[in-house]
Chain A
């Protein structure tokens, strides 16, 4: 694919590096000639110096035959303008980094009107990651589906779980949880389970559920031993706000430490359920007083990397809480990784990672009608989201009458915003979206699910 990246900060550079490795043709645009030169010397990409929102610059970068433009400059408005112009000039897919929370409420509208394929908010993405870590400390991997309404989670079945030696069909009946187990990794093999497949301890299980359902499921399965009930967030920035907002409807109690009294007021207004404390987090007395020793999770989210590192190290010395440390500047990664800082969150890497995921899915869906693609097990099992078009050999026929491929599962049907867990009698209708889980990789069209 041909991809243009506007803005060569850390996100842009990480993307260029990774996408180049994945054999895409990359053109980078940045106003700073020095940056462009140093990157195009290091990585095999072409550089254009200039303002990425100017049509002529985009032309120089070859917008006409480009498949995707990614705008990651530090200005939201510039990013949007880049994408808008690219869309008109090249009719390509566009991805913009939009981080101002003020745009959050209308992000859907912006996407629609500007024709953005993806709008990414680094702080939001980081917050999502943190919220996930807090909610499911034992899940290995979590991805969201259908705009966050469904999640796909992976975890290891513990030794003494009720799941041990249970048949998949019994899970629903005995645990009364509406979850769909879509892949079992048993030793080195990956299977898409049927009703008779047996789960055993040590397997890695991927399942699809809504956030509430998955909470319930984890509790039933008996891996709630380290569920987090209280979380202390240090620093009252955007990420903290998003995390607290996401955790509002869960059972996790959030305590926020912030130095600036004004910001404290704002947060308290925005987050009525969170406890906001005005004070300096580097004050050990205050931390102890607010219970750093007893909290289940401790997240250092201030704007200073050094402070975050120190805070996490201190928290580690005082308690056994799950630690989360935010690091903005990606330098000396290996040194930081070797310290006892718990889960380290690099918002920029997460942003790049999210975009990469989209690009990979796009790559997979080039010339096909796959909407999104998730790798459950790298190259061995994937979940695909299809849009159902008028296809007489599929539409309107009950699922039990369709001759589906082996190791393939129609996991969900989304019809008019509702989720249907398909049974044999259900049919696919035009306009539906379906999620298909399969070990047959490389499906391009919904028709391919047939034998």
Chain B
């Protein structure tokens, strides 16, 4: 383990975080809020430590998969720790684990909140909360890759550890250029949403924070009743469309940009994703039609909630906890499926689900025809054995962590739906669950132990489990 280079990478993370803390300062200046000073202070501390760590380039640039995973996992923890400080020091969130929970929920684009009254926060805190979504959505280390000349062969390890999905491909030969393209698309789509929301009459501050939440598929609202506050079909419609768009694999957009629209349209994962969305909306619309009275209204809210849950955003326009059981059931299933690989969303990922279903079919076939040979394909390409194995292991680890988390949280003695969906909502980076963790409620009632478990789940969910597991595996830190 080359600890020096990990410290070096962490130093850069702190430098970047210091820079990211400047926009909240600007917000504080505009709204003349005293709490902005804490951002400046924490930024200075981050910058200072970061400067010390990055002052000298380590001579030993050995960087393998191990270092990649560990530095990614540690980066996210360090990022969250310093990101929580402004909340804690300013006493706007007086309990430390609550501040940590809130910020981890932000960076991992979960959107689960412990705040009973969001609107009581100052504007700069609200901005920072939503901004963490945007930063976390595409990944901080990917951002660093795109701007810093961290030359060396280790870029791929970092990208692999941070990007969601079973197998990570590059768009262009260089990791750095790939990262730049991804961030370019991300930035452009966010800006587009801001503009469209402002056309609908939303204020700049609101449209910025809402767009950050959509882009990162996070879901922190700045109103107590989330998106229900904006009672406009146009505004909610825009957010629905953008949530779905940000849940698509970004490679698809790149293919559109580079004169390969045909390939983009034939993306198997994107089609499956849109298919699942379509069917879910249809079923829920039929199921909740009676409660809303008009088909359009039912469709609108069904679409919003489906998009919000499958992309793991977690905004809500209505309290879907009051919906019929069938609709709630569909939403819970969507929670696990999640968005496409290579998007900003969480969950198990559509591509994994598709591969798993195909594997089941293949297994059935081989039971009927024991000597049949069939190659599993995704996007027209054979799925390598290694990828298949990693998907299976992922699912195994996923289930184990899930079960243990639910068990620990059960100590708080809430009902099963609350426990189960609270873990589902945090582990899949969604935000609201059902019952006690539903969209109209928040996570403040959980015990500190449960909160720490959920923080771990959020990070593990965002980083696709293995970096976090490796961080806590003793063999990672042993010499050899």
Contact = CB atoms under 8 A, between A and B. Distances in A.
Interface of A: 2, 25-27, 33, 37, 40-46
B156 interface: yes
B30 interface: no
Contacts of B261: none
Contacts of B174: 25, 44
A37 B157 CA distance: 12
Contacts of A41: 65, 156-157, 160
A2 B174 CA distance: 11
Nearest to A59: B260
B170 interface: yes
Interface in B127-181: 153, 155-157, 160, 170, 172-177
B384 interface: yes
B153 A43 contact: yes
Given A40-B156, A41-B156, A41-B157, A46 B384 contact: no
Contacts of A37: 386
Interface in B264-323: none
Nearest to A43: B153
Nearest to B175: A44
B172 A44 contact: no
Given A25-B174, A27-B173, A44-B174, A33 B384 contact: yes
List 7 A-B pairs, minimum CB-CB distance, nearest first. A25-B173, A46-B173, A46-B170, A42-B153, A41-B156, A44-B175, A43-B153
A44 B156 contact: yes
26 contacts: A2-B173, A25-B172, A25-B173, A25-B174, A25-B177, A26-B173, A27-B173, A33-B384, A40-B156, A40-B170, A41-B65, A41-B157, A41-B160, A42-B156, A43-B153, A44-B153, A44-B155, A44-B156, A44-B173, A44-B174, A44-B175, A44-B176, A45-B173, A46-B170, A46-B172, A46-B173
B40 to A, nearest CB: 37
Contacts of A25: 172-174, 177
Contacts of B170: 40, 46
Consensus secondary structure, chain B interface: helix
A17 B257 CA distance: 29
A44 B177 CA distance: 11
Interface of B: 65, 153, 155-157, 160, 170, 172-177, 384, 386
A350 B214 CA distance: 54
Interface centre among B160, B170, B173, B174, by most chain A C-beta atoms within 10 angstroms, is B173
Contacts of A2: 173
B160 to A, nearest CB: 8
A279 B177 CA distance: 58
A45 B153 CA distance: 9
Contacts of B177: 25
A315 B160 CA distance: 51
Contacts of A46: 170, 172-173
Nearest to A28: B173
A26 B153 CA distance: 13
Contacts of A27: 173
Given A42-B153, A44-B155, A45-B173, 11 more contacts: A25-B172, A25-B177, A27-B173, A40-B170, A41-B156, A41-B157, A42-B156, A44-B156, A44-B173, A44-B174, A44-B176
B382 to A, nearest CB: 9
A136 B349 CA distance: 65
Nearest to A46: B173
Nearest to B65: A41
A208 to B, nearest CB: 37
A26 B175 CA distance: 11
B264 to A, nearest CB: 15
A41 B174 CA distance: 12
A33 B174 CA distance: 19
A40 B172 CA distance: 12
A44 B173 CA distance: 7
A295 to B, nearest CB: 45
B258 to A, nearest CB: 9
Contacts of B65: 41
A43 B156 CA distance: 8
Contacts of A42: 153, 156
A33 B383 CA distance: 11
Contacts of B173: 2, 25-27, 44-46
A43 B153 CA distance: 5
Interface centre among B157, B172, B176, by most chain A C-beta atoms within 10 angstroms, is B172
Nearest to A50: B381
Nearest to B178: A46
Nearest to A33: B384
Nearest to B160: A41
Contacts of A33: 384
B68 to A, nearest CB: 10
Nearest to B384: A33
B193 to A, nearest CB: 31
Contacts of B386: 37
Nearest to A40: B156
Contacts of B153: 42-44
A44 B160 CA distance: 13
Contacts of A43: 153
B290 to A, nearest CB: 51
Nearest to B258: A62
A37 B65 CA distance: 13
A209 to B, nearest CB: 41
Interface centre among B65, B160, B170, by most chain A C-beta atoms within 10 angstroms, is B170
A222 B26 CA distance: 77
A415 B172 CA distance: 44
B380 to A, nearest CB: 11
B262 to A, nearest CB: 12
Nearest to A17: B153
B386 to A, nearest CB: 8
Contacts of B160: 41
Contacts of B157: 41
A2 B172 CA distance: 10
A441 to B, nearest CB: 24
A119 to B, nearest CB: 25
A39 to B, nearest CB: 10
A37 B172 CA distance: 15
B149 to A, nearest CB: 11
B120 to A, nearest CB: 48
Interface centre among A25, A37, A41, by most chain B C-beta atoms within 10 angstroms, is A41
Nearest to A61: B173
A430 to B, nearest CB: 40
Nearest to B68: A41
A416 to B, nearest CB: 43
Contacts of B172: 25, 46
A279 B156 CA distance: 52
Contacts of A44: 153, 155-156, 173-176
B196 to A, nearest CB: 34
